[in-house]
Structure 1
Amino acid sequence: MLPDASADYYRKQQGITLELLAIASDIWGSRPPKDFDRWFASNVDMLMELALAGQARAIAGADVYVADVLDEIGVSIAADAVTAPDGLIGVASDGRALDTLMYGAVITSKGRIAKGLSTSQAWASGLDVLINRLQTQVADASRVSTSLSIATRRRVGYVRMLNPPSCSKCAVLAGKFYRYSTGFLRHPGCDCRHIPSTENMSGDMTTDVDSYFTSLSEDLQNKYFTKAGAQAIRDGADVNQVVNARRDMQTAQVFGRDLLTTTVGVSRRGVAYRAMSNAGYANRGTDVRSGGRFRARAPRLMPESIYQIAESRDDALRLLKLYGYLA
C-alpha cells in the first residue's frame, strides 16, 4: 500500500511541475519569432528564473518527506548527517548549465525548419523539447534531494513509485526494493519517485505489473508496451520478459528474412535458453521452426517477429512459449 505521505508529496511535486510548465508555455508562446536566437537571448533570463524557482521548490521538504514516510511505515530512523541540496539548483542533471540545456529547444526548432516543417510547426516542436527538459530537471532535482536524505539514514533504501500511466520500462522496475546507493533509472520525462523504506518493510509497497497492465485501456497498453508486446501480454506472455527483451533488440536474418530479435535471456541461465532447451533446440542451429539448429546464444525472436511469421494464433502461442515469453 502506498504511504499517504508519498501520495501527498507526489501531488505537491506534480503541482509545482504543472505550474512551471504552464508558465514556460506562456513565455514560449504559439507565435514564432522572426529570429529564434534573438528571441532566446531576450527570454533566457526569464526561463532561467523559472527553472531555478522550480528546482528550489521541488527540493524543499525532502528531509521532512523521508522522515514522514518512515514514521508512517513504523521504522523511524534518524539521519546521521544534514543534507545540503541547494547545490542541485541551477545545474542540469547531466552536468550542463540549464541555459545551455534549454537552448536545445531552439536548436530543435531550427533543425525542423531545415527538414521542411513550417515555422509554426517547428516552433511548436521546440516547445515540446523545452517542456520535456524542464519537467525532467525539476523531477531530477526532487529525486536527488530525496536520495540524499535516504542516504543519510542507516538501512534505508527505496521502492520505486509509479505515476500511472507509466511506460513499460518503469512498470517492470516499480515495487522493488533498491539500496540507497542504487541509481534511480529514468528516461526524459520520467516522473517516477522514491518511497523511502527498509528492505523488510518494502514488501507492503510492491507493484503488481500484471495488475497495472490490465488497468490500462487497450490503446494505452499498445502505446506503452508496443502493439505487438501488448498483444503478447494479452495472449499470456510474461510482462517482464516482453519488456526486458527490448533492451538488446536488433534486426537479424532468421529463416531467410529480416526479423527483430534479442539476445536477452539466451545465455544458459536465461529464461529463453531454458524454454528453447526444453523444446529440444538447445545447442543446435538457428531454424527452430523447421526443426533445424541454433546456438545456445542465438538471438530469440521478438513478439513482433513471432506474430509476423506465425501461421495461426496457435502457432503464435507455440512460438511465444518456445522463445520464453509464455510459461
Structure 2
Amino acid sequence: MTELSQQVPNLIREQGRNLRNSSNKTVTKAIHIWHQAVIPGDLDRSFAAAAPDMLLLIGQSQNDVAQEAWETTPDAMRAIDHRPLPARGFDFDTTILNGTAGNGQALFDVFYGSILTAKRQIGEGTDSRIAVMQIDADMARLIRTALADTSRTASLMSAKSFNFDACYVRALTPPSCGRCAILAGMPSGKKPFERHPYCDCIAMWCRDEKMLMTHFSSANDYLDSLDDKQLAHVLGSQANARAWKDGADLNKLVNAYRKRGDVRPAQLYGRNIKYTTESTTKRGTGYWMVKKAGYVKTMHRDGSKYFRVDRPRLMPETIYQIAGNDHAKAMKLLKNYGWLGLAA
C-alpha cells in the first residue's frame, strides 16, 4: 500500500470513485442522446432536439452526486479527526444545484456555447464532421466539470452546516492528471477551488486544518505510486516522466501544457523538435535560465502583447534526443532550458 492510499480515508476515496463512475455513465448516455438528435447541416435544430433529454439526464445525475456528497461528508469529517459532530445548523436542498454550472450559469447556455464554437469553426472552413466530434469532446468535459462542481458545492454546504469554520484541502481521486497532482494538498484559505478541464479532485473537509495537513495527498506521493506507463500518461510523455525522475520541477513540466498549443513541434537544428512557449517571457523562470545559458539573442512578439525569447525552449523529449546516452549533457540541458529548480 502506498503512502498516498494511507493518507486518504477509504470513505473519501470511495466518494471519488462514485463521482467518476457517475460522470462516465452520464457522459456516455448524454453523447448518445446528442448523436441520435444530430441533423446534418443544422446544429441549432440538433441541439434544440437533444437539449431537453440531455439536461434531464444531467440534472438527475447532479441530484445523485449532490445527495451523496451531502450525506457522506459528515462521515468523511469524522474519519479524519475522529470526533463526534454537533447537530446540523441548517438544512440544504441539494436539488437547487440541478441545471446549473459551478459558476451559477444555466447548463443550457453552457452547452450551447459548444454549438456556437462549432458553427464558427465550420464558418472558418472546418469539416462539419470534425466540428461535431469537437462538440462531443466539449460536452463530455462540461458534463464532468458540472458534476464535479455540484458534488463539491454540496460537500461544502454539508461541512459548513456542522461548523461554519470548516476548511478543506484538495484530495486526489486516482487516476489523476498532472494538473490535479500539483494542486493536491492545497488548503482552502481565501482562494476558491481552482478548476481545470477533467478535474475530479475532491475536497476533504475537517474542523481542524492542522489535522487535515496530516491527511493531504502530495504530488510526490501520488507520482511515486505509479508505474512507468502511468507516470508517462500523467506527465504527458515518457521523456517528461524521465525528466521528473532526474529532478525536473513538477510544476514546470505540468505548466508547459497550461494552454492548448503551448507545446509545439518544429524543424530546427536539422531535426524534429518539441518546444514550449510557456515561461518564455521576461517574467518566466524559463526565460532567465535560457538567458543565463547564453541562448537568448533577442526578444520578439509572437502576435501577443508579450515579448518572448527568440530561441525555442526545448521540451525534455528533444533534450534527451540531443543528449543521447550522455546523462551529464542531458542534465545540463535540462538546467539550461529551465526544467530543474533554480537551485539545481
Q: Same fold (TM over 0.5)?
A: yes
- The answer to whether residue 71 in structure 2 is matched with residue 71 in structure 1 is no
Q: Report the counterpart of residue 234 of structure 1 in structure 2.
A: 245
Query: How far has the Cα of 1:140 moved from its partner?
Result: 0.8
Contact residue 272 and residue 324 of structure 1 kept, 8 A: no
Equivalent in 130, 135, 141 of residue 144 of structure 2: 135
Partner SS, residue 160 of structure 1: strand
Q: Write the mapping of 1:149-164 to structure 2, written as runs, cut at 5 A.
A: 149-152=158-161, 153-164=163-174
Query: How far has the Cα of 1:200 moved from its partner?
Result: 2.2
Contact residue 162 and residue 192 of structure 1 kept, 8 A: yes
**Unaligned stretches of 5+ in structure 2?**
1-6, 265-273, 298-307
Amino acid corresponding to residue 332 of structure 2 in structure 1: R
Aligned-residue sequence identity (percent) comes to 28
Contact residue 104 and residue 129 of structure 1 kept, 8 A: no
Larger deviation, residues 38-47 vs 217-226? 217-226
Q: Report the counterpart of residue 199 of structure 2 in structure 1.
A: 190
Q: Report the counterpart of residue 34 of structure 2 in structure 1.
A: 28
Determine the C-alpha separation between the residues in 2 that align with 1:168 and 1:321: 21
Query: How far has the Cα of 1:9 moved from its partner?
Result: 2.4
Count of matched residue pairs: 305
Query: How far has the Cα of 1:161 moved from its partner?
Result: 1.8
Determine the C-alpha separation between the residues in 2 that align with 1:132 and 1:21: 9
Equivalent in 272, 286, 289 of residue 291 of structure 2: 286
Partner SS, residue 158 of structure 1: strand
Equivalent in 165, 180, 183 of residue 170 of structure 1: 180
Q: TM-score scaled to structure 1, two decimals?
A: 0.74
Determine the C-alpha separation between the residues in 1 that align with 2:257 and 2:33: 38
Q: TM-score scaled to structure 2, two decimals?
A: 0.71
Determine the C-alpha separation between the residues in 2 that align with 1:23 and 1:88: 20
- The answer to whether residue 56 in structure 2 is matched with residue 46 in structure 1 is no
Query: How far has the Cα of 1:206 moved from its partner?
Result: 3.0
**Unaligned stretches of 5+ in structure 1?**
252-257, 277-284, 293-297
Query: How far has the Cα of 1:68 moved from its partner?
Result: 0.4
Higher relative contact order (CA 8 A, sep 6+): 2
Q: Report the counterpart of residue 254 of structure 1 in structure 2.
A: none
* Alignment RMSD (CA, Å): 4.0
Q: Report the counterpart of residue 106 of structure 1 in structure 2.
A: 115
Determine the C-alpha separation between the residues in 2 that align with 1:261 and 1:26: 38
Determine the C-alpha separation between the residues in 2 that align with 1:23 and 1:247: 30
Q: Report the counterpart of residue 325 of structure 1 in structure 2.
A: 340
Determine the C-alpha separation between the residues in 1 that align with 2:322 and 2:294: 10
Q: Report the counterpart of residue 212 of structure 1 in structure 2.
A: 222
